[in-house]
Amino acid sequence: MSKILVIDDNADIREITHELLSEAGFEVIEAGSGQVGLEIANLEPPDLILCDVVMPDLDGYEVLKGLRRTEQTSTIPFIFLTSLDSKAAIRQGMGMGADDYLTKPLDPEELLQAINARLHRQTAFNDSFQKKLNTLSANLAQSLPHELNTPLSIILMSAEVLQSEQLTVAENSVMCRMLNSAAHRLQSLIEKYLLYSELEILWANHSRTFQKCELTVPKQPVTSLIREIAIRRADNANRMADLKLELTGLEGKSTLLNISDKWLKHLVDEVIFNAFQYSRSGQPVTIQACQQAGEFVLNVHDRGYGMTAEQIASIGAYVQFDRKLHAQQGFGLGLVIVKRLADLHGGRMLIDSLPGLQTTLTVYLPLND
């Protein structure tokens, strides 16, 4: 049985609404003021809230703000019930995150339809969230132990050998290289995890407050930044011959983006790293950048493993595809990080891919007016 909280300072309306909802099979809780309603919602979160707008102590808008600021109440479906029927009042309510706006006197059928529609949507959302959570748990169980234990085992083994055995200079050099490589791999995993966590916190705040990520214009020229990262990634992959840089679309132009150096470097690095990691040695990785229609466009093309439309739609944290077929390192966070960075800064990420043949990943970021 779904539980509905009715917040209204008019006792008669509360009684009528209570009777209607009870007959429809709902459990009903009443609050005679906005403040009391907010307190009840936090102590005993309902499945849906019906709330008046004009109330003496705390109006409906303030109640909604209070609910959206608290994690346990931020996603509760919320419907305004009010005699205010102006377009401005409706826009204000919906703009603040209300799920619906019904005017008094209430039509019983309309009210029940609105309630059932919102509860159905919330159930679908919860089911989808649980499915994603289950998938995330399975992916973590599959990748996390391996990705952390592999470099850690190499580090421990190398340290033990260096400590307990007499090695030649050549053997010592080999062990040190193994130790250094494993340590850097472990460091990279930790840094990527921390980066993803930071972006998710920013995104949660962004979604809740409807504000953009803090923006600053990058200090380093964009062409220089892309070239520097591309050369480093190609060199690390021993694929300098595969790197194709086409940045002529930015020559003679001042590229001003509303994104800090820190975030832009992370975005470019993840896109290029992904292209080299999931493509074959000897095949080109082409990096293009230009300005068009008020946007900065970064386009990275590789002739690699490719992705199906279903895989592209399923991109998420800790998700890796065909792991048994292709040797992969990492947690599968790269594309999620790129998408989140683009979203936070008013841009978008698109992927066009043919399985087994090629992938083109394009990032669009708005130019600073």
Statement: residue 210 has pLDDT above 80: no
Statement: residue 319 has pLDDT above 50: no
> What does the alpha-carbon distance between residue 248 and residue 328 come to, in Å, rounded to a whole number?
33
Q: Partners of 29 in the beta sheet?
A: 5
Q: From the centroid of its chain, how far is CA 275?
A: 21
The pLDDT of 208-216, averaged and rounded, is 44
- Residue 178: pLDDT band (50, 70, 90) is confident
Q: Sort residue 168 into left (φ over 0), alpha (ψ -120 to 50) or beta.
A: beta
Q: Where are the alpha helices (DSSP H) in 57-215?
A: 60-69, 87-95, 108-164, 169-209
Q: Sort residue 349 into left (φ over 0), alpha (ψ -120 to 50) or beta.
A: beta
- Residue 205: pLDDT band (50, 70, 90) is low
Q: Tell me the pLDDT tens digit for each residue of 258-315.
A: 788 888 999 999 999 989 988 889 999 999 998 888 888 999 999 987 778 777 776 6
Statement: residue 239 has pLDDT above 60: yes
The predicted model scores a pTM of 0.54
- Residue 213: pLDDT band (50, 70, 90) is very low
Measured in degrees and rounded to the nearest 5, phi and psi for residue 360 equal: -120, 120
Q: Where are the alpha helices (DSSP H) in 168-290?
A: 169-209, 222-236, 261-277
> What does the alpha-carbon distance between residue 292 and residue 250 come to, in Å, rounded to a whole number?
10
Please report the pLDDT score of residue 242 as a whole number: 96
Side-chain half-sphere exposure of 44, counting CA atoms within 13 A = 12
Helix (H) or strand (E) holding 285: strand 285-292
Statement: residue 323 has pLDDT above 60: no
Local structure of 290: helix, strand or coil: strand
Percent of the chain with pLDDT over 90: 28
Q: Which residue has the higher pLDDT, 98 or 327?
A: 98
The pLDDT of 170-184, averaged and rounded, is 85
Local structure of 214: helix, strand or coil: coil
The dihedral over CA atoms of 79, 82, 84, 87, expressed in degrees to the nearest 10, equals 20
